[in-house]
Amino acid sequence: MLTLSAIRDARERVDAVARHTPLERSRTFSEMTGANVHLKLENFQRTGAFKIRGAANRIGTLPAEAREAGVVTASAGNHAQGVALAAERAGVDATVVMPKFAPVSKVKATRGYGATVRLEGVDYEEAQAYAHELEREHGLTYVHAFDDPAVMAGQGTLGLEIAEDCPELDTVVVPIGGGGLISGVAVAIKEQLDDVRVVGVQAEGAASAPQSLAAGERRAIDSVDTIADGIATRSVGEKPFEIMREYVDEAVVVDDREIALALTLLLERSKTLVEGAGAVALAAVLSEAFDYEDDETIVAALCGGNIDLNRLGTVVRRGLVQMGRYLKITIDLKDRPGELERVSSIVARTGANVYAVHHDRTSRDVAVNAAELELELETDDAEHAAGIVEELEAEGYDVDIVS
């Protein structure tokens, strides 16, 4: 069983590699929610995520023979980078197996930290199976991403920092992937502070924890599908689940739209870049996925900032749609001179900014005497976007809202 003593013992090993990351009150999100919202900025951690903590503690406890043989692990990206850096600092060879579709930025970063990277499998579970083959064949030590007491203790050092920096804490909100982080944080906080609630959050497309906790036994889902790739696991780990059953008060779910909105708001209002997994805790607060009181002191753990730049644009676009700041519509026009100019003048009258235009007269779905106009518009808010649609419809146009 994971103990506060084990987490405290891990701190010296972790502090040799990882940073004590900032914890800051957010005026913006406090005003938006009515709660007293603080952000644990673990996206500022070395390697961009909390995983360096658990990796540093696990590798730091290896006996000499195991250090000489080297380590192997499987990861979608953040644990990969944590193991790579911790191993490099300790002078230990590391092999990391990543899913074939892992973000390119995370693959390159892992190699940059000195690890040998193998791309195998379509998700974490398949990558993990291959890593265990390498473990057996070459006598390597497997460094599990979450189902390991030493890793859980290392992750728990984040909880020690939260308890020190925000002792008035009422609720801490923590992402759940395999459960290693929330297990360590929950023990670190609940064994030190009284009457603190621990709320775990999963993405809707990878939500095994709520049903597992409700059933009293681990449940796995068949597949994962979410923009929060850092927590996209089919089930929580066996050892973390035992801790979660005792220490976690509630597990809730947020969908990709809510994650995208939280990520976009963090970027715009707090000038803070996180990945999908790093936004889920704040998404749960903003969407009121769990009940909280006015002025309740809430810490949301922003657990990672390693978002692939190719994905960032797509996620921000989704967030802007949720905010009413982006509108994509199609309109069927009569194929005659002046129609495009007429629509443009209506849009200009509403104060919208045209982002892109696509005018198609050749599609099979368009009548011979018609054209399809697709507009992408930058708007002020949801009310403004609705007003644009109403204005066009009032002028006789049939408007189809794409997003």
Q: DSSP letters of 123-162?
A: SHHHHHHHHHHHHHHHTPEE--SSSSHHHHHHHHHHHHHH
Please tell me whether residue 59 adopts helix, strand or coil conformation: helix
What pLDDT does 39 receive?
98
CB 289 within 8 A of CB 253: yes
What pLDDT does 335 receive?
75
Nearest CA to 112 out of 313, 306, 303, 273 is that of 306
Top pLDDT among 315 and 175 is at 175
| Sequence-distant (≥ 6) Cβ neighbours of residue 264 within 8 angstroms | 315, 316, 318, 319, 320, 322, 323
What pLDDT does 219 receive?
95
CB 52 within 8 A of CB 82: yes
Percent of the chain's residues with pLDDT above 90: 69
Top pLDDT among 7 and 398 is at 7
Q: Is the pLDDT of residue 28 over 90?
A: yes
Distance separating alpha carbons of residues 185 and 193, to the nearest angstrom: 12
The whole-number average pLDDT for the span 82-97 is 96
Q: Which of 109-118, 368-377, 386-395 has the lowest mean pLDDT?
A: 368-377
Q: Is the pLDDT of residue 366 over 80?
A: no
What pLDDT does 70 receive?
97
Helices marked H in 274-373: 276-286, 309-323, 339-350
What pLDDT does 172 receive?
98
How many Cβ atoms sit within 10 Å of the Cβ of residue 341?
Answer: 8
pLDDT tens-place string over residues 300-354: 999 999 888 888 888 888 888 888 888 999 888 887 788 888 888 888 899 988 8
Nearest CA to 202 out of 228, 170, 172 is that of 228
Q: How confident is the model at residue 365 (pLDDT cuts 50, 70, 90)?
A: low
Q: Is the pLDDT of residue 34 over 70?
A: yes
The whole-number average pLDDT for the span 174-203 is 97
Q: Is the pLDDT of residue 285 over 90?
A: yes
How many angstroms separate the Cα of 356 from the Cα of each of 326, 344, 374, 393, 397? 11, 12, 8, 20, 19
What pLDDT does 13 receive?
97
What pLDDT does 361 receive?
66
How many angstroms separate the Cα of 146 from the Cα of each of 58, 59, 197, 216, 217? 11, 14, 22, 19, 17
What pLDDT does 229 receive?
85
What pLDDT does 309 receive?
82
Distance separating alpha carbons of residues 356 and 338, to the nearest angstrom: 19
Q: How confident is the model at residue 123 (pLDDT cuts 50, 70, 90)?
A: confident
CB 190 within 8 A of CB 221: no
pTM of the model: 0.88
Q: How confident is the model at residue 362 (pLDDT cuts 50, 70, 90)?
A: low
The residues pairing with 96 across neighbouring beta strands, listed in sequence order, are 73, 117
355 phi and psi, to 5 degrees?
A: -90, -40
Q: Is 37 exposed, middle or buried (0-12, 13-18, 19+ CB in 10 A)?
A: buried
What pLDDT does 364 receive?
60
Top pLDDT among 6 and 345 is at 6
Distance separating alpha carbons of residues 96 and 85, to the nearest angstrom: 12
Nearest CA to 276 out of 237, 316, 222, 220 is that of 316
What pLDDT does 43 receive?
97
195 phi and psi, to 5 degrees?
A: 55, 40
As a whole number, the mean pLDDT across the chain is 93
Q: Is the pLDDT of residue 89 over 90?
A: yes
Nearest CA to 159 out of 307, 1, 14 is that of 14
Using the structure block, give the residue that is written with the tokens 């939280």.
262
Percent of the chain's residues with pLDDT above 70: 98
